[in-house]
Chains A and B, each alone.
Chain A
């Protein structure tokens, strides 16, 4: 740990990494809460994995992969949203198909680009230590955008998640609000890709919110605690992984998983205690 603190003081890349973790925790704490309460984890997974297609295409065309990730995440969110709201097809089948086709497209473009593409691998598995100043600025603006949109539409998102039919009766534009929510989830996924990679992104999107949901009674409390849990796991995970040179993204997710199990255990013990009191 001393080595990590020493490095943190001296190395800018580590400071950027922790800042990126904090920004990612804010985004995933907020949108992850909606993913958990609306029970759309699979849908989030679909968006996340479709991103590989966009990243691969951008690489192939020589564009910044972030733009590819950004475009494909938003396209996937809109398609999945429309399918969920309008189409007769079973939505899980369509999401599964998009998931697989997105990844397959990414793999094809990786194959077409000559040579081994190490940087592309960081999008698959993430590496918070490679976050550049430019990426940090992008993460900041994306996080600010997510916070601002959720602040404005907080009640509408919540009511649509709780009761779509009632929202429609009350004149809430349910389809637009639902797709906007999915677009925010897509933006969060773009933010998180650099941290844990798109393979593990869904875990960081949902586990902090799931942990928070065990001990909170309102979505705003859940968001706050989810952000705190996210900050703890990204910071601690980076610190744990630093000295033995473990993959940071994977370490963060394993730590998050352990915390989730411990939280479930505590909640269970608390419930048993309450029942005995009665």
Chain B
């Protein structure tokens, strides 16, 4: 039997005044392409933070690559929402990509030749190499997203975690991003969170519905009987899954 790369067992997480997650269990296997879908405030970002070891669960256990999230996150490439960044931060695209290999012991301003080469290869892979010298703040939403994906790839991680990768982009860019992730899924495990089921159901293998509690479905269920309930409507998900 295949060992999961990410495993959550009966996870509870509570912010001071309310539950963010209740009894969440999830196993992510190598080469999975899993989407966690849910409304805003449903606990999606909390779930990512738990997997990344940025917060610890109130109850339950998490393992990443068979170890604790704090150690296992070395195997994860994280792609946050591009909208979180200052619009005037003076960094070129290649600087952002190279910043992905920062470590606690990264001293002095210079990057090694190896890192320059890796950055170039990853920018090429996500088709942003011609933008390498451009300022990150001048890019479109889709280009920024690709830059952040290239940054996540620079450490050659086994798993890629994405937080709302298609938030605030138009449908064409959304499709482009999912196509790119599908390509990357040939060698990487992908877990993404999104509030919109939209295109994502055409690309992923499994969908986890999350609104504080959760249920997981293979994509075949989405594409058949449950389709009506999921398409763009989060309340029916909640109702259908009896959360």
A contact residues vs B (CB 8 Å cutoff) = 37, 39, 151-156, 158-159, 161-163, 165-173, 213, 216-222
- Contact indicator B92/A151 (Cβ below 8 Å): no
Q: With A154-B108, A156-B102 in contact, do A169 and B86 touch (Cβ < 8 Å)?
A: no
- Contact indicator B109/A151 (Cβ below 8 Å): yes
Q: Does B243 contact A (CB under 8 A)?
A: no
In the complex, what distance in Å separates the CA atom of A152 from the CA atom of B53? Answer: 28
In the complex, what distance in Å separates the CA atom of A82 from the CA atom of B95? Answer: 29
Q: Does B80 contact A (CB under 8 A)?
A: yes
In the complex, what distance in Å separates the CA atom of A67 from the CA atom of B69? Answer: 45
In the complex, what distance in Å separates the CA atom of A173 from the CA atom of B106? Answer: 11
Chain A residues within an 8 Å CB radius of B78? 166, 169
Chain B residues within an 8 Å CB radius of A161? 89
In the complex, what distance in Å separates the CA atom of A159 from the CA atom of B104? Answer: 11
Q: Does B88 contact A (CB under 8 A)?
A: yes
Chain A residues within an 8 Å CB radius of B104? 170-173
Which of the residues A152, A168, A171, A217 comes within 8 Å of B92, measured between beta carbons? A217
In the complex, what distance in Å separates the CA atom of A6 from the CA atom of B86? Answer: 48
Write the nearest CB–CB distance from A270 to chain B, whole angstroms.
14
User: How many chain B residues touch the partner (CB < 8 A)?
Assistant: 30
| A-B pairs, 8 with minimum CB distance | A154-B109, A171-B104, A159-B102, A155-B106, A217-B135, A170-B102, A159-B99, A152-B107
List the count of A-B residue pairs having beta carbons below 8 Å apart: 79
- Contact indicator B108/A155 (Cβ below 8 Å): yes
Secondary structure dominating the interface of A: helix
- Contact indicator A216/B90 (Cβ below 8 Å): yes
Q: Does B169 contact A (CB under 8 A)?
A: no
Q: With A155-B99, A170-B103, A217-B135 in contact, do A165 and B54 touch (Cβ < 8 Å)?
A: yes
Q: Could you list some 11 contacts between A and B, CB below 8 A?
A: A37-B88, A37-B89, A156-B102, A158-B99, A159-B102, A162-B85, A170-B103, A172-B106, A213-B90, A217-B90, A221-B90
In the complex, what distance in Å separates the CA atom of A169 from the CA atom of B95? Answer: 18
Q: Does B73 contact A (CB under 8 A)?
A: yes
In chain B, what residue has the closest Cβ to A212? B90
- Contact indicator A172/B102 (Cβ below 8 Å): yes
B contact residues vs A (CB 8 Å cutoff) = 52-54, 73-74, 76, 78, 80, 84-86, 88-92, 95-96, 99-104, 106-109, 135, 151
In the complex, what distance in Å separates the CA atom of A170 from the CA atom of B154? Answer: 12
- Contact indicator B54/A169 (Cβ below 8 Å): yes
- Contact indicator B80/A151 (Cβ below 8 Å): no
In chain B, what residue has the closest Cβ to A154? B109
- Contact indicator B80/A165 (Cβ below 8 Å): yes
- Contact indicator B99/A37 (Cβ below 8 Å): no
In chain B, what residue has the closest Cβ to A173? B104
Which of the residues B84, B90, B103 comes within 8 Å of A171, measured between beta carbons? B103
- Contact indicator B91/A219 (Cβ below 8 Å): yes
Write the nearest CB–CB distance from B165 to chain A, whole angstroms.
15
- Contact indicator A213/B102 (Cβ below 8 Å): no
Chain A residues within an 8 Å CB radius of B52? 169
Write the nearest CB–CB distance from A165 to chain B, whole angstroms.
7
In the complex, what distance in Å separates the CA atom of A168 from the CA atom of B78? Answer: 11
Indicate the member of B53, B107, B109 with the most A CB atoms within 10 Å.
B109
Indicate the member of A39, A166, A169 with the most B CB atoms within 10 Å.
A169
Chain A residues within an 8 Å CB radius of B100? 166, 170
- Contact indicator B92/A163 (Cβ below 8 Å): no
